[in-house]
Structure 1
Amino acid sequence: MIWLEKQNFRLLLLYIKVSNHSLEKDNIIFSEWFLILSSIFSSPVVFYFLQNRSKRIKSKGEGDV
């Protein structure tokens, strides 16, 4: 149970990072769906995918002015 609570907290922090880095509506909707799915499954696979998603969004937005 403690492990699942830690996973949910980490996913919530990642969701905040993803929503802060994404300026497009579809990215925000996409990250909201992953928050919902991750809260249902609480799996490291979803955590890993969401983490990679936040990295991609961050690198995508770095060159924009």
Structure 2
Amino acid sequence: MNKTLATLTTAGSELKSAASTLGSSLSVVQTRQDCSKQLINVLQNGAANLTQAYSNQEAANS
């Protein structure tokens, strides 16, 4: 019975450790996802601004 209890205690500790590692990994992934979303937004806005500036220049040259 003591051996079973020790095994369960060890398993519980390993689960807690795995859950902690998973939580840390999730935090890193979420931070990277937020950064990627912001970068995509900046690049899309920049592309839109360049397209608008090109259109304006073409109109001015016509």
Verify same fold: TM over 0.5. no
Could you tell me the TM-score, scaled by structure 2's length?
0.37
The higher radius of gyration belongs to 2
Higher helix content, 1 or 2? 2
Which has the higher relative contact order, 1 or 2, with Cα contacts under 8 A spaced 6 or more apart?
Answer: 1
